[in-house]
Structures are given as structure tokens and as C-alpha cells.
Chain A
Amino acid sequence: MIDKFVRGTAEALAGVRSGATILIGGFGQVGTPNALIEALSEADLRDLTVVCNNAGTGTHGLARVMAEGRVRKIICSFPRSAGSVVLEELYKEGKIELEIVPQGTMAERMRAASAGLPAFYTPTGLGTALAEGKETREFDGRTYVLERALRGDVALVEAWQADRWGNLTYRKAGRNFNPVMAMAAELTIAQTQHVAELGALDPEAIVTPGVFVDRVVHIPYGEPDLGKPLY
């Protein structure tokens, strides 16, 4: 019997090593695997490369993982927001490496990795600082920038529902980077709000099939906080 459920976040993260590249889903506070991120900040890990659209706010979540000195490099599109104090500080002191990637290029680099493609050409960023030093090529009269695939050793995602095969659904804007990250890592770990019996999820509505998911942990984390600023 296939059963991908594990009992807690520590078991979910078992075997994750220092130096790993970790893809973390979520956009703003929506669809963010908060419990897995908290567990990451408590795990004995160093030199992580984290791929996440934002770079944490306040002193909790991803900001805490960075504050604990576990992150060597962060790859993201939008690190700066109200309350991104930890990153600003580490960046100013040269204690963290930052790679800024256009948001669509970031998504597509992971999609390419998930699909077995080593690189792709995109019109995004041509002639800008973010394309400096990158190969370009003309197709049908337009010039494109070559971007490399971005694969994770680990992906942490948040699902709305999951079954024991690891089939996942998402909720509204909570989908965001989660499906593409789930497909782009060696070890994909999902935190899910709800558990479904195998067969209960409509096959037409499953967004991430379980073949892309290795472990599932049930965390009824609750709704994204309306009161906090959503960054």
C-alpha cells in the first residue's frame, strides 16, 4: 500500500542535508508551507540555497531560517517588502548571496527542470542588468536570453487537500508556485490543510498528481492571517 503520510514535520524533513537547494512555495502569505519552514529553521542545517518568490518578513518563517544562519544563498524575484528586515541586514553585511530572477523566468526555470529541459530562451530581461553575461540568440527576428533550468534537491509546498498517494489540490491564490516546485525537486514534501481518502479527490481537479510528491504531512494550519500585512 502506498502511503506518503508522515507523522510530523521532523519526519517530513528527515534526510535533508546541509548545502541542499530548497524550493519553497507560496506567494505573500498564501499557499506558504509555514510549518515546514518553521521546522527548517529548527533543523541542524547550513549553507542552504533557498528558492522562494519573497525573502521573508519580520522574524518568523523564512526570515527566521535566514536569521539562524542556515541560508547561504537566496534566489527570488522580490526580496524587498515591508518588514523584510532580516534579509536587508544580512545582504548589507554581505552574509547572504542574493540572485534576483524575473518572476516568470524563475517559474519557467523550475518548469524546465521538471520537464527534463536544461535551458530555454526567453524574451524577458533582454538588455537589462539581469541578463548580463548570458547567451542570447535571434529567432524569427527577435532576440532571446538563454536561461538555465533550476532544480531543487527539496521542495516544500502547501496543499489544500491531499490523499495517501500524494495527489494534491490547492486553494485559490494558494496555488501559485506550489505545483511547479512540486514537480522540480528530487524530494517533494507537502504540508496539507485537509486529508482526503484515496478516490475522494476528483481526478479532473487534482492539480499535482502524487507521482511528483514524496511525503505528505497533515497540518491544519488555518487560513492566511487577514490581520497581518500580506507580504
Chain B
Amino acid sequence: MDAVVEPKPLNRTQMAARVAADIPEGWIVNLGIGIPTLVADHVPEDREVIFHSENGVIGVGPAPAEDARDPWLINAGKQHVTLRTGGAYVHHADSFALIRGGHLDLCVLGAFEVAENGDIANWSTGANEKAPAVGGAMDLAAGARRLWVVMEHTTKDGRPRLVRRCSYPLTALGAVKRIYTNLAVIDVEPRGFVVREMIPGLTLEALQARSEARLHLPA
């Protein structure tokens, strides 16, 4: 009899590495704040992927050592970064022309919720007491040729993030193509969520129990 494998959810680093494995050489990629930012650490430097940051940095390189930080070089998350050989600077209008104009092969964002029709909610919880902030999320979600989301499969208190319709304010309509969670890789197709991959030992039933929208298996 086979040993029963206890499902072990991926941690943040493993989730980032899983996304990185699917990014081919030559793509222009924008990474959002949080787990998406970690993705760059898992793309080997000899696989030439060009990372873009909204504040006009094309060709973002690895984070600098503490004592080698350049005060003039930050990314959209206001972290210090480097520019890799071949990189370039542009102003904000050109940076977002790159985003909206179909020049971004991929954007990876975090999210509160993704709906089975590809809607994404990631900028506001709808609470009124705080000044809302959107940054470049709506431009990226609407403009990138592909939008992938990386997020925990459920909230901290266990509520599903893969939903039939988003309950939080929307960032973009029908934009998400693929979701990487700590439990699975899921494509968004016309018929809804299609499970491409699950962590070892996890059953479709168990994954479904953690998702609000219906999950499908590949045809």
C-alpha cells in the first residue's frame, strides 16, 4: 500500500519559484508588490527576462547589498534595486505606454479575490475610513498581455479567494489568465477555473472545499 502523502502547502518562496518556472526567456515582465516581487529571485540571471517597474525602470536587476544601494534607483514598491546591463530609464507616460500598449508579456499581481470570469479585486477592501490607493494596478491589469495572480488559496480565516463574483471593489474585468496559490495552479478559461496542478497529496475535493467557485479538470 502507498504511503499517504500529507499535503504541504507551498510557502511564499516556493510560490514565487513556481511562478518563475513558467516565465520564458525574452519576456517583458512587471511584478507587483509582495510575493510577486520575490519571483525575480527565482529566474536565473542567464535566462534573460526583462523586468519592468512602473516608475520607469526597464531591466530591473537583483536587490543590491545593503552598502551598495543607489539612492536614485528604486522600484515602484520604493525598494532599492539595481539596473541590469542593457537596462533603460523612461518617464512615467512612456512607462505606462509600455504597459497599456501591449508591450508587457506578463504582469504578476497579488489579489484579494479572483472570480471565475477572470475579474480581479486587489486594490481596495471597500472600507471607507482610509484614503483609498490604487497605484498602477488598474493599468497593469488592463494593459498586460497576460495577467497572472499569485496569492494564498484562502484568507487567513479560511474564506475562499477563488470566487464566483468578486465582493471587493474590482481592479479589472476578465483580466486574469492564471492563478498560482499555495495549493494549486489554476487557469481561467471561458468555462471557469481549470485546475492544472495541485500540491502532492491534495485531492480535487479538498481543493474544491477551499474554493467558492466550481473547479474543473482539464478536458
Binding site for A on B (CB under 8 A): 54-57, 69-76, 78-80, 83, 89-93, 95-97, 99-100, 119, 124, 129-139, 142-143, 169-173
Tell whether, in the assembled complex, residue B173 and residue A126 are in contact, meaning their CB atoms are under 8 Å apart: yes
Q: Closest Cβ of chain A: how far from B89's Cβ, in Å?
A: 5
Give the docked Cα–Cα distance between A226 and B68 (Å): 11
Give the docked Cα–Cα distance between A103 and B33 (Å): 15
Q: In the complex, which residues of chain A have a beta carbon less than 8 angstroms from the beta carbon of B90?
A: 175
Tell whether, in the assembled complex, residue A88 and residue B131 are in contact, meaning their CB atoms are under 8 Å apart: yes
Given contacts A28-B74, A207-B91, 5 further A-B contacts (CB under 8 A): A103-B136, A104-B138, A127-B170, A130-B134, A223-B72
Tell whether, in the assembled complex, residue B131 and residue A104 are in contact, meaning their CB atoms are under 8 Å apart: no
Interface size range of chain A in the complex: 35 or more
Q: Which residue of B lies closest to A103 (CB)?
A: B136
Chain A 95-116 interface residues, beta-carbon cutoff 8 Å to B: 98, 100-105, 107-108, 110-111
Tell whether, in the assembled complex, residue B131 and residue A55 are in contact, meaning their CB atoms are under 8 Å apart: yes
Tell whether, in the assembled complex, residue B169 and residue A129 are in contact, meaning their CB atoms are under 8 Å apart: yes
Q: Closest Cβ of chain B: how far from A146's Cβ, in Å?
A: 15
Q: In the complex, which residues of chain B have a beta carbon less than 8 angstroms from the beta carbon of A210?
A: none
Tell whether, in the assembled complex, residue A77 and residue B135 are in contact, meaning their CB atoms are under 8 Å apart: yes
Tell whether, in the assembled complex, residue A107 and residue B69 are in contact, meaning their CB atoms are under 8 Å apart: no
Question: When A91-B131, A107-B92, A130-B134 are in contact, do A27 and B172 touch as well, CB less than 8 Å?
Answer: no
Is A7 part of the binding interface, using a Cβ–Cβ cutoff of 8 Å? no
Tell whether, in the assembled complex, residue A110 and residue B93 are in contact, meaning their CB atoms are under 8 Å apart: yes
Tell whether, in the assembled complex, residue A111 and residue B93 are in contact, meaning their CB atoms are under 8 Å apart: yes
Tell whether, in the assembled complex, residue A173 and residue B72 are in contact, meaning their CB atoms are under 8 Å apart: yes
Enumerate the 4 nearest inter-chain pairs by beta-carbon distance, A residue then B residue, closest first: A104-B96, A104-B139, A230-B78, A172-B72
Q: In the complex, which residues of chain A have a beta carbon less than 8 angstroms from the beta carbon of B131?
A: 55, 79-80, 84, 87-88, 91, 98, 100
Q: Closest Cβ of chain A: how far from B209's Cβ, in Å?
A: 30
19 pairs across A/B with beta carbons < 8 Å?
A: A27-B76, A77-B135, A78-B133, A88-B130, A102-B135, A103-B96, A103-B135, A104-B99, A105-B138, A124-B143, A125-B142, A127-B172, A128-B171, A173-B57, A176-B55, A177-B92, A207-B91, A226-B69, A226-B80
Q: In the complex, which residues of chain A have a beta carbon less than 8 angstroms from the beta carbon of B135?
A: 77-78, 102-103
Q: In the complex, which residues of chain A have a beta carbon less than 8 angstroms from the beta carbon of B130?
A: 80, 88
Give the docked Cα–Cα distance between A208 and B73 (Å): 20
Chain A 165-210 interface residues, beta-carbon cutoff 8 Å to B: 170-180, 207
Q: In the complex, which residues of chain A have a beta carbon less than 8 angstroms from the beta carbon of B55?
A: 27-28, 30, 173, 176
Q: In the complex, which residues of chain A have a beta carbon less than 8 angstroms from the beta carbon of B139?
A: 102-105, 124
